[in-house]
Structure 1
Amino acid sequence: MIFAAGLGTRLKPFTENHPKALAVVNGKTLLQRNIEYLKSYGIDEIVINVHHFADQIIAFLEENNYFDISIEISDETDQVLETGGGLVKAKANFTEDFLVINADILTDLNLAEFIKSHQENKALVTLAVSDRNSSRKLYFSDKNELKGWKNLNTNEEIKATDSLENLTELAFSGIHLISPTLFGHIHQHGKFSIMKVYMDLMQSQSIKGFDHSGGILIDVGRPESIIEAEEYFK
C-alpha cells in the first residue's frame, strides 16, 4: 500500500494545486518512482489511498495504464483518515503479509532482505528504521523488539520498559511490513495514527525493527528535499 492521501503542507506551494505524490524528481513523479521500486521486487498488486487532489492521482494512473499491474484506489476524499484509519479502510485488500510505504519516501532499502527478516521473525509488524536525524525516535531492545518512542523536542515518551536508556535509538523510515492479523488488534475507528496502535501493542506483540542505516532514505516532504533526491535518483 502506498499512502498518498496526505495534504503535503510542507511541500507548498506545489501542493496548493497538486497532490504531493505527483511532485517530480528528475522527470518522474514520486508515485511513479515508488510503483517502479515495488515492481522491481516483484510486487504487482498495490493499493493507493487518495484524498488531496485525488482526481489528479487517478488521472495519472489512467494515463500510464496503471503501470501494467493491479492498482486499487482506496478513496478517502470525504475525510483523510491518517495512517491507521487508512489501513483499516483498505483492509479487505490484505490477506497475507503486506508492505506499506509513504508516497514521499525515496529509498534504496533492499525489500527482499526486509521481507525475509519479517517472515523469519514471524513478527506482527516490522518497521524499517535507520540512524539519522529526526525529532521523533523509536527505541529497540538487543533483539530488535520495539520498546519505546520519544519526541526529542517535547521529551514526551511512551515506553514498554522501565527506561529507554541502553536501548538502540533509531528513526522510523515510513515503511512497514504488516501481518493482516494486526487488524484483529485494532479497535479504533475513523481517523487515527497506526503508530499509536503500535505503541499500545508493543508490550504484548512482536513489533520488530529492521535497521537499514547507511542506505539512501529521503523524505521528499520539503522543496529543498527534491533537490537532494535528484542527486541520488536519476
Structure 2
Amino acid sequence: MKALIFAAGKGTRLKPFTDHHPKALALVNGMPLLERNIKYLQGFGINDFVINVHHFGVQIIDFLKENNYFGSTIEFSDEKDELLETGGGLVFARKLLDLGEDFLIMNADILTDLDLNAFIQFHQGKNDFATLAVSDRKSSRKLLFNSEMVLRGWLNVESGEQRLAEFNKGFKPLAFSGIHCINPRIFNKIKRTGKFSIMEEYLDLMHTEEIHGYEHQAHIIDVGRPESVLAAEKIFK
C-alpha cells in the first residue's frame, strides 16, 4: 500500500521555526516529524510514499536524499507554483496514486500510535472509497456520525455552525485525526479543482455516498504549535 504524506503546508502556527524551515522537519525529541511518520508507517509494512511539498520543499527533498530515503521508495508531488491544500494536493498527486489499490493519507504534523492494520482492515471491510480515523477528543471542529459510523455532518463547536446531510438525530461528534484510507474510486467523485480542502468534498459527498468514520482511542497529537511539541515529546520518545 502507498501512503501520501501531506508536507506542503506553511505551518504558520509553528513560527518562528517555519520562517526558515518546513513544518515537516520540526523536531520532536530530536527527530523530524517526517522521519517519525515514515518510520511509523514502515512499522506497518508501508514502504512506498508520495510526499507533497511546497513551503521550503527543497529542504524536505534534500533531507530525504541525505538519509537515502530511509530505505523506502519516495516520489514527490511538487506544488511549487501554488499550495493546493489537502483536496487540491490529492488531485494533483493523482497520477502517482490512481493505481487501482487503496492508499493511506496522513498529515506530516500528526503523531499517533494508531494501529493501522486494524484501520485498513475496517476500511476494506466496508468497501468504501474513504474511511476517516476519528476520536473523542477536544477540538474546535467535529465530524458528526450516525449509529453506523457513517458521516452525516460537521460542527463548529465554538460558533455552533453545522452542516448536515439530514436532521441531527443525536449524531456522535468526533474529531478527525488527519488519517484517511482511500480507494482511488474517489478521484472520479471529486468535483472541485485547483485549491480546496478534501473535507469540503467529504461534506458534499456525504449526501450521496457512505463515508465511514473509524473511532479509535490511540494517542494523537497535532504538532501544529510550539506547546504541542512539548506535549508530543512526553509521549513519543
Shorter-chain TM-score bucket reads: over 0.9
Residue aligned with 1:78, SS: coil
Residue 152 (structure 1) aligns with: 157
Residue 115 (structure 2) aligns with: 110
Q: Which amino acid aligns with 1:131?
A: D
The separation in 2 between residues aligned to 1:207 and 1:170, in whole angstroms, is 14
Q: Which amino acid aligns with 1:37?
A: Y
The separation in 2 between residues aligned to 1:183 and 1:114, in whole angstroms, is 21
| 1:197 maps to which of 187, 196, 201 | 201
Q: Does 1:138 align with 2:139?
A: no
| 2:61 maps to which of 39, 58, 61 | 58
- Partner deviation per Cα, 1:27-83 (whole Å, 9 max, x = no partner): 110000000011110011100000000110001000000111110000001100000
Deviation at 1:204, TM superposition (A): 1.3
- What 5-or-longer segments of structure 1 have no aligned partner? none
Q: Does 1:7 align with 2:13?
A: no
The separation in 2 between residues aligned to 1:201 and 1:100, in whole angstroms, is 18
Residue 129 (structure 1) aligns with: 134
Q: Which amino acid aligns with 1:168?
A: K
| 1:19 maps to which of 22, 43, 50 | 22
Deviation at 1:154, TM superposition (A): 2.1
Q: Does 1:99 align with 2:134?
A: no
Residue 185 (structure 2) aligns with: 181
Residue aligned with 2:142, SS: strand
RMSD: 0.8
Aligned partners of 1:127 and 1:175 also within 8 Å: yes
Aligned partners of 1:124 and 1:205 also within 8 Å: no
The separation in 1 between residues aligned to 2:124 and 2:210, in whole angstroms, is 12
The separation in 2 between residues aligned to 1:226 and 1:135, in whole angstroms, is 19
| 1:228 maps to which of 228, 231, 234 | 231
The separation in 2 between residues aligned to 1:179 and 1:155, in whole angstroms, is 32
Residue aligned with 2:185, SS: helix
Deviation at 1:92, TM superposition (A): 1.2
Residue aligned with 1:6, SS: coil
Q: TM-score, normalised by structure 2?
A: 0.96
Aligned partners of 1:7 and 1:15 also within 8 Å: yes
- Partner deviation per Cα, 1:74-106 (whole Å, 9 max, x = no partner): 000110000000000001122211100000000
Q: Runs in 1 of length 4+ with deviation above 2 angstroms?
A: none
Residue aligned with 1:73, SS: strand
Residue 85 (structure 2) aligns with: 82
The separation in 2 between residues aligned to 1:48 and 1:37, in whole angstroms, is 15
The separation in 1 between residues aligned to 2:207 and 2:148, in whole angstroms, is 14
